Structure 1
Amino acid sequence: MGELLRADGDALRALAVTIRGRADEITAVAVATPFSEAASAMPDSATGSAVAAAAAPAEVAYTTVAAKIREMAAAAESSATSYEETEQLFRSQLSRYRDGL
């Protein structure tokens, strides 16, 4: 695939699998744990309160990054399919030109 467009659909799909795996790894991180442990170690301090308050935004950030990486994976898969479809259309058109149609 990809002789005319020089695109490698298999490589794009492999990229999608790899980066989706990284998104899964990010999602699996227990982001809140170190925050809650640190806050528990300083129960009556302003620092402990600040650390506790930082847990939710950190979780949102990790979730957002993982979602964006999944979007990248979907784009890579979609690109592979799109390149293959376009390649086939180009080949068909070229064949018709060669056959004088």
Structure 2
Amino acid sequence: MQNKYFVYITTNQYRTTLYIGFTNNIQTRLSQHYFDSQNSKKSFAGKYACVYLVYYEVFEFPKEGIHREKQLKKWSRRKKNMLITDFNPKWETLNSQVF
């Protein structure tokens, strides 16, 4: 079975803070974000409760995903918002799509 790699964007309840990440196990990673938001709050995603998945891309090779993550992190908030809106017009929580 071929591994899949994900670049993803999570946000908080009010959609005011974005977190961009890269992982090879999106289910585990989202669970970690949720745990951090409930307990330690030491990570960025945990501190700002960025547990709602609103965007993701799937890659076959890790190098491609890492490159894309770095690219997105350099974008302006406006450009990130447009990317999310094109993919997920209502900014619905997509967590159930990956579980």
Higher helix share: 1
Same fold (TM over 0.5): no
The two structures have a TM-score, normalised by structure 2, of 0.23
Higher strand share: 2
Where relative contact order (Cα < 8 A, 6+ residues apart) is larger, the structure is 1
Rg larger in structure: 1
